[in-house]
Homo-oligomer: A and B are copies of this chain.
């Protein structure tokens, strides 16, 4: 039997999407209980500061999950729209309110970017670009940016998240073994080198404006990487 590469990638992507439905309750409790140390110590503040540094009035929280970032930015006075493909996570977000929430998959956003609204000063993707193909999604959300709008992406730092693997693009698996709670499924996620991220931005018609490397307070290395992109001139 020949398994084509396309078929294999489809199953990773599908499993990725499904895991955010299956694990929705565990994820909601992990985030709301501040159970993830790197988020509590570093990356939550880092994404908020980077978004606020763009001085936005309106933000699209792309892959908002249970909505913590949308709520935090709303408290800062911003008008926030959160969008996610996981119905139970959008329902959890709506329970706490503060922002407008839209249930839509990334495929639906690509098909019709206006499903989320338009004119956003910032599109923030906080650890939510986990699929192997994100160019079309980035191009779609770039089309709903305001004139000077920015896309802010926080993700696993390529240099400090490769584990035992060579430094090459490829699917990895998050098992949630180090998390508390009832995790039903593992989550495939796509590791991308720095070069690959930059190629992705270029393919999406974006210019890389800034890179931030929020440092872990005790580990001596960054806890994440943040890319700030604009639409290419």
Contacts and interface: CB of A to CB of B under 8 A. Distances in A.
Contacts of A198: 208, 210-211
Contact of A167 (B193, B195, B220): B220
A167 B213 contact: yes
A166 interface: yes
A194 interface: yes
A169 to B, nearest CB: 11
A210 B193 CA distance: 13
Given A167-B213, A168-B220, A194-B225, 20 more contacts: A158-B159, A159-B159, A159-B160, A159-B194, A165-B220, A166-B221, A167-B215, A167-B221, A167-B222, A168-B215, A193-B213, A193-B222, A194-B194, A194-B213, A195-B211, A195-B212, A198-B208, A198-B210, A202-B210, A233-B233
Chain A, interface size category, equals: 20 to 34
A195 B215 CA distance: 11
Nearest to A233: B233
A118 interface: no
Contacts of A146: none
A193 B160 CA distance: 13
A54 interface: no
Contacts of A19: none
A207 interface: yes
Contacts of A158: 159
B166 A220 contact: yes
A210 B194 CA distance: 10
Interface string A217-233: 00011100100000001
A220 B225 CA distance: 21
A207 B158 CA distance: 21
A207 B210 contact: no
A165 B219 CA distance: 11
Nearest to A228: B198
A148 to B, nearest CB: 13
Contacts of A215: 167-168
A172 to B, nearest CB: 15
Nearest to A210: B198
Nearest to A157: B159
